Amino acid sequence: MGSAIYGKLAAGTALTAKLGGTAIYNTLAPQGTACPYVIFSLVGGGDDNTSPRRARSTLWTVKAVSTVGPLEAGQIDDLVDDLLHQGALTVTGWGDYWMARESDFAFPETAGGVVYWHTGATYRVRVAE
């Protein structure tokens, strides 16, 4: 699933242009990565167990990290939203039937005298075998 989300984001030319490349990482960005970049990570969910056919409903956090300011982080978040909200994923062995933005967040974080602006959302992804 993570590779599917990465592939979806990395295929977004407007997003990669804004990031200056495929600065998109699963869970953690490599130490020292220059901003801006996008991080996505699995935060919850699991199997539905409602029918014999296996189906999963998972929650993913996808956020932009910027040192320029909340405006840039928000712009990147908008580009992520364009790609993911009610978009389609290609997940090997599974059929994707729902992907949607559920809750937003934005917060600053200070580290080493630098302010990092985090803006993003959680996305619900539902797939079935």
Partner 1 sequence: MANTGRIAGKDLYVSFGGVDVSGDFTTITVREEGDLVDVTAGADAYHYYITLRKDGTIDYRGFYDGATETVWDAIAVLTAGTLIIGPKGTTATYPKWTWNRAIVQSRGAELPFDNAVTVDASFQMSSTCTEGTW
Q: Is 105 in the site for partner 1 (CB under 8 A)?
A: no
Is 97 a binding residue for partner 1 by CB under 8 A? The answer is yes
The Cα 110–Cα 88 span in angstroms is: 35
Task: Out of 26, 100, 101, 106, point to the residue binding partner 1 (CB under 8 A).
Answer: 100
DSSP bridge partners of 122 = 61, 103
Number of residues that bind partner 1 (CB under 8 A): 11
Q: How many CB atoms lie within 10 A of CB 125?
A: 23
Q: Using CB under 8 A, which residues numbered 107 to 126 contact partner 1?
A: 126
Contact letters for partner 1, residues 45-74 (x by CB under 8 A): -----xxxx-x-------------------
Buried b (16+ CB within 10 A) or exposed e, 19-34: beeebbbeeebeeeee
Do the Cβ atoms of 25 and 19 come closer than 8 Å? no
Q: Does 93 bind partner 1 (CB under 8 A)?
A: no
Least distance from partner 1 to the Cβ atom of residue 91, Å: 15
Contact call for residues 40 and 62 (beta carbons, < 8 A): yes
53 vs 110, beta carbon nearer partner 1: 53
Binding site for partner 1 (CB under 8 A): 50-53, 55, 95, 97-98, 100, 126, 128
